Amino acid sequence: MVSYAADLAPMTTRPPRRVAFVDSGIGLLGYADALRALRPDLELVLALDPDHMPYGPRSPGEVRELILASAAAAAELEPVALVVACNTASVHGLEALRAELEPGLPVIGTVPAIRPAATTGGPVSIWSTAATSSSDYLRGLVDAFASEVETHSIAALGLAEAVEAVDPAEIDRAIGAALAETPADTRALVLGCTHYGLVADRISAALNSRGSEVTIFDSPVAVARQTLRRIGLEPEEAAVPTRTAPIVLLSGRRGELPERLRLYPQGARLLGGPAPGAGPRPTLAS
């Protein structure tokens, strides 16, 4: 049994409204950033699990145990909602998390945006990790939401790892390799791993370089809106921003986001201050 909660001092006063995000790695940055855009007054808890990432090669039971431990540590900080910003953890741990934490703590999962992508009429390509690309879970989503359109499942080998390592050269190599496997007539591209949204601008540039008109579908904004619905709040982008930096947990230990994450606009905004050349938040379909 993995347990992180004992590493945290108990809260002595009721905290401000805060939302917790759990993931094996930095894929949660895009989801936290999307929520902050809609409600800048909410405090954030970012619970990463660097001791055990990546989750993809692990058994469902291992993933379930690890995400329960991360969620328990985050729950000690008394959030009003918990977002599972990881597709693998959502597949294997969402049911257990809800059984453990709800109704007291709403738990919001993450799924690839296949349903809205299918409305383009296809063809739809889905980039995901090797484990997800061949999974019954992904096939079930395609059967449920995109059975009437042409779909292609692409294993974007090494992309999540390159994003986690903040390695631009390896990111571009992995994007190029995935693009080579993506049919040229693709009209919609679904980002099936939460890490991929951090490099959506690079993916878009690679698509444009081959003359493709492709709409990229990702889920951070949809998940942020669902989170607000679950806690009874409306988007309020003009709300007075919190002055509190995100609370970071690293496998249950208090920590900080590394400065190298400023390479990603989402990371730069959460760290405070602009990234080199960073513009406003990109608008992706969701």
Whether the domain at 5-110+221-271 and the domain at 114-218 fall into the same CATH topology: yes
Q: Examine the pLDDT at 4 and tell me if it is beyond 90.
A: no
List 38, 174, 191, 193, catalytic entry: 193
In the sheet that 188-191 helps form, which strands lie side by side, from edge to edge?
Answer: 151-155, 124-128, 188-191, 215-217
Confidence of residue 278 (pLDDT cuts 50, 70, 90): very low
Per-residue pLDDT at 131: 83
pTM more than 0.75: yes
Q: Examine the pLDDT at 237 and tell me if it is beyond 80.
A: yes
Is 180 assigned a catalytic role? no
Per-residue pLDDT at 6: 44
Beta pairing partners, 216: 189
Look at the block and give the residue holding tokens 């693709």: 186
Q: For 65-113, how does the pLDDT look when each residue is reduced to its tens digit (9 = 90+)?
A: 999 999 999 999 999 999 999 999 998 999 999 999 999 999 999 999 9
Q: How far is CA 214 from the centre of its chain?
A: 21
CATH of domain 5-110+221-271: 3.40.50.1860
In the chain, domain spans: 5-110+221-271, 114-218
Task: Report CA torsion sign: 160, 285, 148, 179.
Answer: negative
Report residue 18: phi and psi, to 5°: -140, 150
List 8, 38, 75, 86, catalytic entry: 86
Measured CA to CA, the distance from residue 72 to residue 5 in angstroms comes to: 6
Domain 114-218 indexed as CATH 3.30.70.20: no
Is 86 assigned a catalytic role? yes
| CB within 8 Å of 202: residues ≥ 6 apart | 171, 172, 175
Q: How far is CA 227 from CA 39, 96, 150, in A?
A: 11, 18, 31
Angle between helices 60-75 and 87-101 (to 10 degrees): 60
Are 216 and 204 contacting, i.e. CB atoms less than 8 angstroms apart?
Answer: yes
